[in-house]
Structure 1
Amino acid sequence: MGLAVTRSGRRLARLTLDTLADLPDDVRSCVYWELDPVRRQRAIDSGDAISEKEAWLSRVLLEWGSCGRVAYVDGVAVGFVAYAPAPYLPGAEAMPTAPISEDAVLLSTALVLPEHAGGGIGRMLMQSVVRDLVKRGGIRAVEAFGDTRVERGAPIDHRSCVLPADYLLRVGFKTQRAHARYPRMRLEVKSAVTWRTEVEAALEKLLGVVRPGRAARPATERHTH
């Protein structure tokens, strides 16, 4: 089903119409990346932003597959990530450091609610993106547009459309194209594979595969789903 629960009440789930509904309204109505500026303003003015977001998600799930993860703590959605190939995110074309590289997918959004900042959820979400892209194959990198004006070390603000550049640096991105305000950042999937063991260990702890007080089982014996 794409999720598992730990004794601490944490879990990851795929981004679907059902899990999207668990996120705050201002997140569900944000179509900054999903629509071009003209369609975006039209959707906002008409009050159709949420339905446009749902339509976008349905299309990507049908045509490309899984495009995000939602993090829960004790049954409450506290964070999520969304990513897709550039053609599905036309809003990115307006960024001064666009376009993203042809061999990459775009990380459009990452969210962690303020009350859960600093608990490693943002890193866990990013690691789940890398794990998905590694499994897909044929994708060399994930890129994102960063905002350099967000205070260093500040939590991801769910009201912001552009990720803090500092957050992207902390989770392994490097500057691909510099810009005073909106640099384009890149994480090579090939280099990320070198810390895949760390990624999988962290995910197993989050998903409850590794039980407290017991040694981790060999990779061949671990749960795969």
Structure 2
Amino acid sequence: MAELRAVTPDRVADLLSGCAPCTFWQTLPSNGHVSADDPLETLADWVARVGSDWGPPGRIAYVDGEPAGYVLVAPARHVPRLAAFPTAPADPATVMLLTAAVPRRNPGTALRKALVQAAAKEAARHRARAIEAIGARALARAPHGCVLQVPFLEEVGFRVEREHPAYPRLRMDLRTALTVREEAAELLSRALARVPGMRPVPQGPPDGATRARSTS
């Protein structure tokens, strides 16, 4: 069975990506120094802070109880790494799409699109008129894997808001996205239907906690 669950402190171990557990957006630039903090603990603390102030900062997609991908979204005031980008928004209330990640074994592009739509839906629920993102262009020098590529963002409905040769800021206007809820459900259902043994996305609210996972 497939479902979307809110990102909560007890589920941060399910944030699968190429550098998981990743705290890129949740920390300030380290200038080459590795933080001594436990990344899972850092993520859990960040998720708790955002959840208390704004709401769950994203969604995790599960297939038959196993994590299949995730999306992170939060107000700019909760994203320390934005300070490293010249196109960071001036308004701390700007809702930012941070990343959408899926393991390579899953139907990456379709699922990532569905997760971005879920993030847009979350922003709309908070009455945000738009959602923004920092994107990486080909000129970006060794961009971090959690920085979404500009072509992908444009493909899912973002347009450049502030230009930059390497890291422009893009924007999706939610006032014209009248079918966000339906598009998210349809895209997610189609994407996850490609996974063997998958059944349709349930219509009711998900329940139950993700099981504990061991970390190295």
TM-score for the superposition, normalised by structure 1: 0.74
Aligned to 1:144: 133
Aligned to 1:111: 101
**How much does 1:36 deviate?**
1.8
Aligned to 1:27, what secondary structure does the other structure show? Answer: coil
Higher relative contact order (CA 8 A, sep 6+): 2
Structure 1 consecutive aligned stretches of length 4 or more whose deviation exceeds 6 Å? none
Amino acid at match of 1:141: A
Output aligned runs, 1:57-136, within 5 Å. 57-99=47-89, 101=91, 104-118=94-108, 120-136=110-126
Alignment partner of 1:13 is 2:2: no
Structure 1 residue runs without a partner (length 5+): 1-8, 151-158, 210-222
Aligned to 2:183: 199
Could you say which structure has the larger radius of gyration?
A: 1
Distance 1:203 1:171, change over 3 A: closer
Distance 1:174 1:118 in 2: 22
Larger deviation, residues 71-80 vs 82-91: 71-80
Amino acid at match of 1:11: E
Distance 1:140 1:103, change over 3 A: farther
Aligned to 1:149, what secondary structure does the other structure show? Answer: coil
CA contact (8 A) 2:72 2:97 kept: yes
Partner deviation per Cα, 1:89-146 (whole Å, 9 max, x = no partner): 0211110212255663011121011111346211111111122222222x11110011
Greater helix content: 1
Aligned to 2:159: 174
Identity of aligned residues (%): 33
CA contact (8 A) 2:115 2:184 kept: no
Alignment partner of 1:185 is 2:170: yes
TM-score for the superposition, normalised by structure 2: 0.77
CA RMSD, Structure 1 to Structure 2 (Å): 2.6
Give the number of equivalent residue pairs.
Answer: 191
Aligned to 1:161, what secondary structure does the other structure show? Answer: coil
